[in-house]
Structure 1
Amino acid sequence: MESPDATFTLAYLVFSFCFVFTPNEFRSAGLTVQNLFSSWLGSEDVGFIQYHVRRTSTTLLVHSSLPLGYYAGMCIAAPEKNLPYIHLVSAGWQAFLVLSLCLQLVSWGLVIYWSRRQWSNHPICRTLQAHAQPQRSGWGAVATSINTEFRRIDKFATGAPGARVIVTDTWVLKVATYHVHVAQQTDTHLSVTDSRQHQMSPDSATPTQILTIRVASINPAVNSFDIRLMSTEYSELREKLHAPIRSATNVVIHQTISELFLDTFKAHAELNQPYMLPSEMEVELCIGCLQVPAGTKLIRLCCEEGSDNECRQCFCRPMWCLSCLGRWFASRQNQERPETWLASCVPCPTCRSKFCILDVCLIR
């Protein structure tokens, strides 16, 4: 049987990790800095910059108190260690307590320094100062501009509350745990630097492509930063930006669910049994695109004849390439339920015999 201190240690580590990185379950339960201190933080809609100045400061103080909270919890979980009596504990626990207290004191000192001169020393305010025109003017005018544009309903916004990407008429904003990155649209160059395909995502049962976009400013006082969003949101982002987004030559952007599904369709088809083309049979161009030779043959492989499955044997010769067949497959699905696409059956585009993804064979 595990000891109480080991159980508490494991539970506290899991809690701390989830509290810092905030999965959806913690966010739904309200276990976030934004929710726990909402009465002091105020409203983001009323004052976006002021809200995040308070939020980042509070987040720093709360996160830095987690080691001290572990020590306090161990005083209750393991009373035999005599942790409340500092002079009786081991040197290791004394060092841990001293480091925890120092971390908390340094955090308080840093926040107090930030708050001087009406928070002018805060990293967010210093970032805004880089956008002030002229430079000798204060950051307040920039904050007012961002606050005003954030209240407009036509802004682009995506992501979780503590890690969002926001694009207004003038500004590109990235909300991070301890900071808010700010860039002015007229001064920035955006480029897609990477894309990652995820077969499953926490919020959807369908494949998801995550794009990484580099935001670089011509203003030397503004640091570059990366924003991440789903490829299905890419078109909406481009509509809000005044400048084009450059894309690396090796990055392919899938902007629709059908395009994302097509990659998954091809991957599953490549795992199926191939169709060995008879020597006397000639392959013609795909009748869908007329660009490449037909590369697929529908053969009923998913189950035996006579079962209740809807699939039937197709006797058509190879007439479709894999891409066109995949697009046909996606077009015949319920667009409201993309999570059911892979398990569905659709009619052959030529003879209307039902087939599923397991029946799609590549020609060899």
Structure 2
Amino acid sequence: MIQYDWLAGFAIYFLARYPPPAFIGSGLTLDNLVLLFFKDNNATSFIAKNIHRAKVTFISHTIIAAGYFSFMTYKSYMNFDSSNLIMIIQTIITILAAFYTTFMFYTKVKKNNNPDDIILQLSKYASNERELKEIISEIDLNYYNNVPVVYGEVEHSKVVIIGNWLFKMELYGAKVVKLDDTELILKESLNRFNRGRIMETLYRIQLRGVEYKYDPFEIILSFTVLEELNTRVRTSIDKLLIEKHNIITAKFKERISGNPKYYISQDEEIENCLGCLQNKSNVIIRKRCGDVGEEGGVLPCEECNCRSLWCVRCLALIYESKCGKNISDGMLPIFCKASCPTCRARFCILDVQMIEVSNENTG
């Protein structure tokens, strides 16, 4: 029976340390529950609040780890059977894991060994205690006087941009970089569905210090947040990213230029693109290709009845992400299918129409 206790205890410990997204969204995490009882009313600044949260998270994880290993050691002692090989292996694993966890927590307690210690990282940009206090005051002032750019990267961390500083929030602190000492390296672009089941393009970016004051690390951002970040760093990826996207967009527009236009009336409202939230929606998907090709092959495009929700740039990037890796020119008509990012209907490049405003809707 002890093996089931061992697995159940480990599952509880793992869920407490890495809660699922549903728990995080509702605030039902171990550190949030502990914070209800251990509020620090003196932690009124951005830096102080996050340092306090990191300490509470660390203490709560230490307590649950100590409780888990103490319980399992007690169970092993009370039910130990030297003839049971599985029990012996479990006991050895529990003891080794306890020593390893203790060692890792010990290194976190020592300030100089915690890579996520906020004060330690900020002190790299200050020559003395007075300059460090000035940096903290500047960050707190910007935080309360300006709206920071915040983007949830993954379930367990988020990125906060405040003035000239970027914080990648971690369990026991944050990775901190000064943006005018940072260069960006584009690693890859990713397409995925958000919680609203809408396709969005994300970018995996590596941040690297120009003066090597921090180890390189990666973050994942949306295009709008990436554009904002690009304006603040010393070496941006504007040129690389924009040129790449411009080439894809230009080729996509060239391919759909022979398709009929989709006309709308002047009084019809045009919404902003769901992908970038900046450009106006200017393309629409309407099935035009036949069900059978010239050689008799089936062309399984589907009817899409969505209204115009995307700009040509975002739809081009979505189409390229599906077709560009398998086809040399990335835009071969008919033979490559992508899915409508809203309703998931399959379409080819012949089904994409540019929107034009007319005195009457003839679309």
Q: TM-score scaled by structure 1?
A: 0.58
Change (3 A) 1:233 1:169: closer
Change (3 A) 1:225 1:120: closer
Distance 2:199 2:42 in 1: 32
Please report how far the alpha carbon of residue 103 of structure 1 lies from its aligned counterpart in structure 2 after TM superposition: 4.4
Amino acid in the other structure paired with 2:183: H
Q: Does 1:155 align with 2:148?
A: yes
Deviation by residue 1:93-147 (Cα, 9 ceiling, x = unmatched): 55445445534644564455339xxx99983222111111x35756333222222
Counting matched residue pairs gives 293
Match of 1:215 in 2: 207
Please report how far the alpha carbon of residue 24 of structure 1 lies from its aligned counterpart in structure 2 after TM superposition: 1.9
- 2:122 aligns to what SS in structure 1? helix
Please report how far the alpha carbon of residue 17 of structure 1 lies from its aligned counterpart in structure 2 after TM superposition: 3.3
Match of 1:295 in 2: none
Equivalent of residue 174 in structure 1, options 168, 171, 192: 168
Distance 1:344 1:17 in 2: 40
Instruction: Between the two structures, name the one with larger relative contact order (CA 8 Å, sep ≥ 6).
Output: 2
**Are the equivalent residues in 2 in contact too, given 1:173–1:183 (CA < 8 A)?**
yes
Match of 1:333 in 2: none
Alignment of 1:190-209 (within 5 A): 190-198=184-192, 200-201=193-194, 203-209=195-201
**Are the equivalent residues in 2 in contact too, given 1:172–1:183 (CA < 8 A)?**
yes
Q: Does 1:53 align with 2:71?
A: no
Distance 1:108 1:302 in 2: 55
**Are the equivalent residues in 2 in contact too, given 1:26–1:32 (CA < 8 A)?**
no
Match of 2:237 in 1: 245
Equivalent of residue 257 in structure 1, options 261, 274, 278: 274
Amino acid in the other structure paired with 1:17: F
Match of 1:123 in 2: 117
Q: Does 1:188 align with 2:185?
A: no
Q: TM-score scaled by structure 2?
A: 0.58
Please report how far the alpha carbon of residue 210 of structure 1 lies from its aligned counterpart in structure 2 after TM superposition: 1.7
Please report how far the alpha carbon of residue 276 of structure 1 lies from its aligned counterpart in structure 2 after TM superposition: 1.4
Amino acid in the other structure paired with 2:162: T
- 2:238 aligns to what SS in structure 1? strand
5+ residue gaps in structure 2?
A: 250-271, 306-311, 317-339, 356-360
Distance 1:16 1:45 in 2: 28
Alignment of 1:78-97 (within 5 A): 83=78, 91-92=88-89, 94-96=91-93
Distance 1:344 1:15 in 2: 42
Alignment of 1:1-364 (within 5 A): 5-27=2-24, 28=26, 30-40=28-38, 42=40, 46-72=44-70, 83=78, 91-92=88-89, 94-96=91-93, 98-103=95-100, 105-106=102-103, 109-110=106-107, 112-114=109-111, 123-132=117-126, 134=127, 139-159=132-152, 162-198=156-192, 200-201=193-194, 203-238=195-230, 244-246=236-238, 248=240, 252=245, 256-257=273-274, 273-276=291-294, 341-342=343-344
Deviation by residue 1:208-233 (Cα, 9 ceiling, x = unmatched): 22211222222232333222122354
Distance 2:105 2:89 in 1: 25
Amino acid in the other structure paired with 1:257: L
**Are the equivalent residues in 2 in contact too, given 1:61–1:108 (CA < 8 A)?**
no
Change (3 A) 1:7 1:217: same
**Are the equivalent residues in 2 in contact too, given 1:214–1:225 (CA < 8 A)?**
yes
**Are the equivalent residues in 1 in contact too, given 2:179–2:232 (CA < 8 A)?**
no
Please report how far the alpha carbon of residue 25 of structure 1 lies from its aligned counterpart in structure 2 after TM superposition: 1.5
Distance 1:88 1:65 in 2: 32
- Quick check: 144-153 or 235-244, which moved more? 235-244
**Are the equivalent residues in 2 in contact too, given 1:166–1:172 (CA < 8 A)?**
yes
Change (3 A) 1:91 1:243: closer
Distance 1:181 1:6 in 2: 38
Deviation by residue 1:20-79 (Cα, 9 ceiling, x = unmatched): 333222211512314423443537982222333333344344435555443455589xx6
- 2:118 aligns to what SS in structure 1? helix
**Are the equivalent residues in 2 in contact too, given 1:61–1:104 (CA < 8 A)?**
no
- Quick check: 85-94 or 227-236, which moved more? 85-94
- 1:222 aligns to what SS in structure 2? coil
**Are the equivalent residues in 1 in contact too, given 2:189–2:201 (CA < 8 A)?**
yes
- Quick check: 81-90 or 98-107, which moved more? 81-90
5+ residue gaps in structure 1?
A: 279-298, 304-308, 311-322, 328-337, 355-364
**Are the equivalent residues in 1 in contact too, given 2:164–2:232 (CA < 8 A)?**
no
Distance 2:117 2:294 in 1: 65
Q: Quote the sequence identity (%).
A: 14
**Are the equivalent residues in 2 in contact too, given 1:173–1:181 (CA < 8 A)?**
yes
Amino acid in the other structure paired with 2:18: F
Distance 2:78 2:282 in 1: 59
Aligned alpha-carbon RMSD (Å): 5.4
Distance 1:120 1:71 in 2: 23
